[in-house]
Amino acid sequence: MADKTPTPHIGAKFGEIADKVIMAGDPLRAKLMAERFLENPVQYNNVRGMLGFTGTYKGKRVSVQGHGMGIPSIGIYSYELYNFYGVKSIIRTGSAGAYDPELKLGDIVLGMGSCTDSNYGAQYGLPGTFCPIADFDLLRRAAEKADSMGIDYKVGNLLASDVFYGDSADGWKAWQKMGVLAVEMEATALYMNAARSGNKALCICTISDSLVHGTACTAEERQNSFTNMMEIAFSVI
């Protein structure tokens, strides 16, 4: 693996990234997490502005890496981390739009599974439909941490969508009727890359808007708050 680094998208040398990585779509959120949670963070990446840092959290060596928006982007970054940098566990922290009417702004969703409208899985040539799921140990410990913090959360299916501005205003309701809790844009690729490489993954989302209630957080709130999911991620990675 060392002879394949740096990669086209990550400027680190082999060994500069920990085997445990917390990811965020927004590189500025990755920077915020590194500054808030890591001791002695060292920046290892600024390629395409996709910031990455390595430091320690309560004695554990942990890296924080931005992954951009959408399945193609996280597909690239998580693939390189798993296959070229020896990463064993990735937790994505991100925002999601609620489909479940019980979810409020700021609530947490732990993505046990990831539905998708993407064709990302076609590359594997499977004779059926693959169900991308989280690592159970990470999921279990994340739920236990959320319980200990006394915060509101749900565990279930996410939708990883290729579409942010959909042509059908009510298309999301088809997923809602199947019990999908919320929509984001990355978990499927992360879970598939983890499965294919024999590693672990979990997606933890904070509800930033609700398609049911028509409410939404500001861009600044998305970038600088959502600290509950960050604390959960650092506690279980």
Q: Is 86 helix (H, G, I), strand (E, B) or coil?
A: coil
Residues 90/81, Cβ–Cβ less than 8 Å: yes
Instruction: Please give the Cα distance from 236 to 217 (Å, whole number).
Output: 26
Instruction: Please give the Cα distance from 142 to 190 (Å, whole number).
Output: 17
**Does 19 participate in catalysis according to the annotation?**
no
Instruction: Please give the Cα distance from 52 to 44 (Å, whole number).
Output: 6
Hey, what amino acid is at 230? M
Query: Which residues have CB under 8 Å from 143's CB, separation 6+?
Result: 110, 153, 155
DSSP 133: B
Q: Is 109 helix (H, G, I), strand (E, B) or coil?
A: strand
List the catalytic residue out of 100, 107, 135, 209: 209
**Residues carrying an active site annotation:** 209
